[in-house]
Copies of this chain bind each other. A is one copy, B any other.
Amino acid sequence: MTAPRRHGRWPGLLAGAVLAAGAGVAPAQTLQSLQRPGAPLLLAAKGSFFVGGERRLATPNQVGLFGGREPGHVTVGQMYVEYMLPQRRAPTAPLVLLHGCCLSGKSWSTTPDGRPGWDEYFVRHGFAVYVADQVHRGRSGFDPSTSNDVRAGLRPPDALTRIDTLNEETSIWRAFRVGPAYGRAYPDSQFPVESIHEFAKQVIPDLYDGTQRPNPNLDRLSELATGLGGAVLVGHSMGAGFVLEAAAATPGAFAGVVAIEGGCPFNREPFSDAEILNLARLPILLVYGDHLDADTGLDFSWQPGFEECRAFVRRVNDAHGHATMLHLPARGIRGNSHMLMLDRNSLEIAALIEQWLRRNVRRPAPR
């Protein structure tokens, strides 16, 4: 057990601030505190585009605005992608960053306390960086036809996707391993606890209900990487599950996989032997933070998923693959939460991943 029972390193001001915030009186962070730039940033290019999508007739209950009440086509299932290209490029494949449950591409940008995100770290270090919003949320949009049909009485209310969330007290603070009880952080916690409310704003509805097959995110990742001539998939949490599953299905599209704090696999049947052989074609790095076996008092623990990923590493390597587990505490790096790309030592972890990428992934990448 690694979960301490005493107060965290911010027992006074910050725990107090958080508890006061629980009553809705915490002062908002200033915009200045949310924008703390570093050195100037030189890019070869930046921009955005969409990958894929299904073009189809709008349903009769979906009104085309601006007088457009005649039938017409809309597109759903596309994936929004924004990119930054470095001026001096490292000899590695591009990175595709895929966020986790209930979040968006914002996960990889500025941290809740205003520090630069991994998107900026990696482009500064010579990587082409592509940040996606998962299909069915954020700027990728979602398919509104079920909601409109329920509204019109054409489908029963329980046809609606249940929209879950991450609440601050249990899902984020306790389950994401900030600390054992809301307002109390682990003594070694790296999470920027004073910005817990800012992080909570990143949580947005996900309209992918998990049952659609094929999972459109997997196809979009494959199409994106193919269009880029190979890419390393970097996924977090649910996104880590998706990048492993995409790599298992179409390994030739990818140059490598970095799966952070996700299951092996995530929320599906175990990988088949054929899938393991596919995965063995790619360099794979799994990353986990600290306090995985903490007793949070919730009906959830990271430990089984972590153990499953350790078994996955063995299985891939038994198939002559190249899988590595980066368990941060084993490297002496303590206190990382589930949102380790937002933690105070986030760039230290990025540097470890960069080191692995430079040693294990080459460009041109697909094998």
Contacts and interface: CB of A to CB of B under 8 A. Distances in A.
A245 interface: no
Interface of A: 21-22, 24, 28, 30-32, 34-35, 37-38, 40-53, 55, 58, 61-75, 78, 80, 82-83, 85, 87, 101-102, 104-106, 109-110, 114, 116-117, 120, 133, 138-142, 144, 147-148, 150-153, 157-158, 160-172, 174-176, 197-198, 200-205, 224, 227-228, 296, 298-300
B45 A43 contact: no
> Copy number of this protein in the oligomer?
2
A140 B205 CA distance: 10
A300 B66 contact: yes
B64 A164 contact: yes
Nearest to A160: B151
Contacts of A138: 138-139
Contacts of A104: 139
Contacts of A114: 47, 49
Given A31-B49, A31-B227, A78-B201, A58 B142 contact: no
A34 B171 CA distance: 38
B24 A70 contact: no
A52 B31 contact: no
A197 B62 contact: no
A20 B18 CA distance: 58
A168 B69 contact: no
